[in-house]
Structure 1
Amino acid sequence: MARTVNEEKRLERRKRILEEAVVLFAENGYSNTTTALIAKKIGVTSGTIFQYFPSKEALFHATVLEPLEDIQKKSLASLQQNGTPAELIKNMVEEQFNHIYSYSNELRLVQSVLGQRIRFPELTQKVLDSIKIMTDTIEAVYAKGQSMGEFSPGFSPAMISRSYISFLNGVALTLGEDIVHHPEWENLKGHAYYLFAPSQHRAK
């Protein structure tokens, strides 16, 4: 029992370190964020940080990749349910737009990494691989929807999937936490869905 309690405390502390690191890395950048600063914000010593992450670089990688994995898992789940391609795409848009404001700092970190590909080559590749899994899945669902007459046949599935991910990231980075209070919030979700050009007689 004690071991279980200790493990829960350990996981909770690791989560707290990661959450604070995400904010500080997003606000200050990699170079200007030290483990000492992160530790001070949490109220622990720098040595405590290294009990969970072997280096600052390892911590930075975790702040980028772990939230991205979480986003991907939720998004893929929405595309793997029962339903027509149009219904699945609509579910995905709803899922992503209902939670995207929670990941504004995480998406800023992703953009930061992609903007420094020479500095973070290994991390950049992992981010690109994650994005590709998402766009490939959307592409396959969209192509199936085209074959069923649910989406306009005049668009490239690859282009549509990448345009949508770009739009999603842009909305999150532009509006951040204010997104849910934006007067055009519901319309933004509608615009996101219509990037897929659903056939008018099938769209609901």
Structure 2
Amino acid sequence: MPTPRSLVDKFCPVRSKRERRKEARPGELLAAALDLFVEKGFAATRSEEVAARAGVSKGTLFLYFPSKEELFKAVIMENLGGRFTEWNAEFEAFEGTTAEMLRYCMNVWWERVGLTKASGLTKLMMSEGGNFPDLAEFYREQVVRPGHDLLRRILQRGIDRGEFAPVDIDHAIYSVIAPMVFLMLWKHSAMVCVDGESALDPEKFLATQAETVLYGLSVRPGDKA
């Protein structure tokens, strides 16, 4: 027996298409906004450009997001800030050593953020945040602080379990953050921050950085010369 939804699709195809289009609009608008913000920056992106790329009118855009600032905040939450619930749940469920957790954290960040267009949002905030203090504070509140808190939990776990030496955690977290920020700048700045004669493999780079954070550069007992 046909369902009500299938009957609508059959006898009112225009209406059903319009309804499906309406349901898809917020996601399409956020995707279009992410593309343009990363390509052009916040200041240079116009709301009508976002609407045009998403295939809707500017008025439709403002039905969902009343200003460009609110649209940008929604993009931040969709791609970065809204993911910390998931990441903290993974922290709670992780059963390996803390060294394994730290490696996993860095690799997952690259797979889920660094490799995606969303990594350009950090570069954008670094270059334009000073001109938009309200957006900069929003980014700090929704992305930077939760990220730092998660890394603190990881390092504190290692110390509490006797796996890591006691360290100044508030400063040690930047040893983990720095290589990830470097990769975002490398990716979104025409790769000018590396020697053009040598290729940079992001996975190998993060693996090397993780080992350096965990063990330093000193020769360890048992290492082969």
TM-score (norm 1): 0.77
Aligned residue in 1 for 2:206: 189
- Residue 126 of structure 1, aligned match among 134, 138, 153: 138
Q: Distance in 2 between matches of 1:198 and 1:74?
A: 29
Deviation at 1:97? 2.0
Alpha-carbon distance between aligned partners in 2 of 1:114 and 1:11, rounded to the nearest angstrom? 34
Q: Structure 1: where are the runs of 5+ without partners? A: none
Equivalent of residue 14 in structure 1, options 22, 26, 39: 26
* CA distance in structure 2 between the partners assigned to 1:54 and 1:192 by the alignment: 42
Contact kept in structure 2, 1:78 and 1:92, CA below 8 Å: no
* Residue matched to 1:55: 67
Give yes or no for the alignment of 1:40 onto 2:52.
yes
DSSP-derived class of the 2:116 partner: helix
Q: Which runs of 5+ in 2 are unaligned?
A: 6-15, 192-198
SS of the residue aligned with 1:98? helix
Deviation of 1:99 after TM superposition, in Å, equals 2.2
Once the two structures are superposed, residues 80-139 of structure 1 have per-residue CA deviations (whole angstroms, 9 ceiling, x without a partner) of 2232322322221221122234434x3333333344445322221222123122212212
Q: Which residue of 1 aligns with 2:38?
A: 26
When the two structures are superposed, what TM-score results if normalisation uses the length of structure 2? 0.71
Question: Is this contact kept in 2: 1:78–1:91, CA < 8 A?
Answer: no
Whether 2:120 is the aligned partner of 1:95: answer no
1:196 partner SS: helix
Are residues 1:139 and 2:176 paired?
Answer: no
Give 1 or 2 for the bigger CA radius of gyration: 2
Identity fraction in percent: 22
